[in-house]
Amino acid sequence: MERNCLISFSLIIGCILLLQVSCQKQTVSPEGPEIELAKTEPAVSSEKAEIVPETSEPTPKITFENLVFDFGNVGSKTSKTGEFKFKNTGEGMLKITKVETCCGCYNKLSKTEYAPGESGTLKVDCRWAQRPGVITRHIYVNSNDKQNPRVALTIKAKIISIIDYKPEKLNLLLNEENAGCPDITLKSGDKKPFSITAFKSTGNCITADVKSTAAATEFVLKPEVDMAKLQKNLNGFIEISLAHPESKNVTIPFNTLPKFKVNPPVIIVFNAEPQKSTKRDIWVLNNYSEDFEVESISSKNDIIKVLSREKISNGYHFEVEITPPGAESKQKIFTDVFTVNIEGNEPLAITCRGFYSRRTTSPPD
């Protein structure tokens, strides 16, 4: 009996030990290298992606042979034509949208669209001034050329006096025979013969015989002055038309010393008040030191009244009184004309302008 109990106890102990050993083997893992998780890559299709090229329209390009045109020496007041040649060196249609020209220049373009490889010509007509000197002008050509949408072109010229003339200005006097007008000499500066086709003057007060059509390199004109017409046209111009390839006309100004001088030529009154008089002095003098008589004096609006008249050397001295009229509600100025009538001569008119003070024209409170 005791033997059977011992055997049973031993079997129980053995089972317990066997279970412990088995548990230890399960809790202890073998040492070894760490295992990295592989990174997942996106799936790549076996077929290659199709590459679509960028599409662009053909572009034009405007190319000029020269950007500067030099006319060289040109005559004053003449017209010349210059040319700028260009070509569409691009692959698209060239469209010229605008040509900007300067004063005195006019452009001529037969068309505005040019195919690739097509050439064109921009013609520019220029009228040159009268005064000698070097002139530079600019022209701008606008197109659909994206790289150069606005091309700057330059025009140069040296203006010279093809026809030399003397005198360049006439100073005339009313107390001399033929107004003291000298002869006019015209000479070809380039030695080319020319002829005179016409002679005109302001008010037709100066004339000259130019009926001869024979060409020559030099002319001497003898102007004739109509004194009566000259007194009505004291200042003006003489226009001489020429038949010369580089010079079409010559302009000569003339000035005449008038018989009389009025000082002041205009009377101005500031801060005027209605019915409040102010005094002024007026001198009427003869530029040729000649004696003269004043026949009468008048005031158009009866605003100017003569207080005294004194005869002095070469003229008269007047002391006048200016009385502004009553100012209306919105009236700001007043005017009058003081006229001096001289025996045997045209009347002299002196304008008077007056400006009322602000307090006179301001509306009441």
Question: Can you list the pairs that 322-326 forms with residues at least 24 positions away whose Cβ atoms lie under 8 Å?
Answer: 322/267, 322/269, 322/277, 322/278, 322/279, 322/280, 322/352, 322/354, 323/275, 323/276, 323/277, 324/269, 324/272, 324/273, 324/274, 324/275, 324/276, 324/354, 324/356, 325/274, 325/275, 325/301, 326/274, 326/275
Q: What is the mean pLDDT of residues 217-221?
A: 93
Listed by start position, the domains of the chain span 62-160, 163-257, 260-361
Tell which residue, 118, 107, 122, has the closest CA to residue 60.
Answer: 118
pTM to 2 decimals?
Answer: 0.61
Answer CATH for 62-160 from 3.40.50.410, 2.60.40.10, 3.90.79.10, 3.40.50.150: 2.60.40.10
- The answer to whether the 62-160 and 260-361 domains have the same CATH topology is yes
Residue 161 scores a pLDDT above 60: yes
Task: Give counts: helices (H), strands (E), the chain.
Answer: 3, 26
Q: Which amino acid is at 353?
A: R
pLDDT value at position 128?
A: 78
Please provide the CATH number assigned to the domain covering 260-361: 2.60.40.10
> What is the predicted pLDDT for the residue at 361?
55
Asked if 124 contacts 81 with a C-beta cutoff of 8 angstroms, the reply is: yes
| Residue 45 DSSP class | -
> Model confidence at 25, in pLDDT bands (50, 70, 90)?
very low
Q: Taking all residues of the chain, what is their mean pLDDT, rounded to a whole number?
A: 84
| pLDDT tens, position by position, 118-160 | 999 999 998 877 677 888 999 999 999 999 999 999 999 988 8
Predicted confidence band at 13 (pLDDT cuts at 50, 70, 90)? low
- The backbone region for 86, taken as left when phi is positive above 0, alpha when psi lies in -120 to 50, beta otherwise, is beta
Q: 106 - beta bridge partners?
A: 125
The Cα–Cα gap between 331 and 337 comes to: 18
> With 60 as the cut, is the pLDDT of residue 20 above it?
no
Evaluate if residue 41 carries a pLDDT over 50: no
| Structure confidence at residue 196 (pLDDT) | 93
Percent of the chain with pLDDT over 70: 81
**3-state SS class at 160:** strand
Ranges 7-16, 34-43, 193-202, most confident: 193-202
Architecture category of domain 163-257 in CATH: Sandwich (2.60)
Give the per-residue pLDDT at 362: 56
pLDDT of residue 73: 85
Phi and psi angles of residue 64, each rounded to the nearest 5 degrees, phi first: -95, 145
